[in-house]
Structure 1
């Protein structure tokens, strides 16, 4: 079965925040995913206190899908917010 959903993410050193690098890099990747891989949706998650990631997701057109109080990620339980684009 062909996978039609993928996750996108980014990580930057603090000195590179607020320069638009994440959205600049994400937009062509999203386009490539939808056009070349024929994805139906792309998801991204972030911790509620990570406001810069939230801003990137809004800027690239993603919308909130849900809030997870106890998501198991990277070997620990975390609060996560999930955004999608489809």
Structure 2
């Protein structure tokens, strides 16, 4: 079975935070506000978790979704993946 995109996630200093579908990055960021220092939020890396448990950035995620046949929609940015492209 091919690796797939399974949830939106953020990463800060090696710590990954995600929420289950259909959560979007804004919801993950809102949840993270209670755990991360205020100055950290603008610097977090937004990405996704894969079915292999890996955190990947938006560019890697679009490639994985395409190869996995998840058929991402285009929401105006054909390089990066957004949760709206999948769910």
- Asked if Structure 1 and Structure 2 have the same fold, meaning a TM-score greater than 0.5 normalized by the shorter chain, the answer is no
Structure with higher strand content: 1
TM (norm. structure 1) is 0.27
TM (norm. structure 2) is 0.27
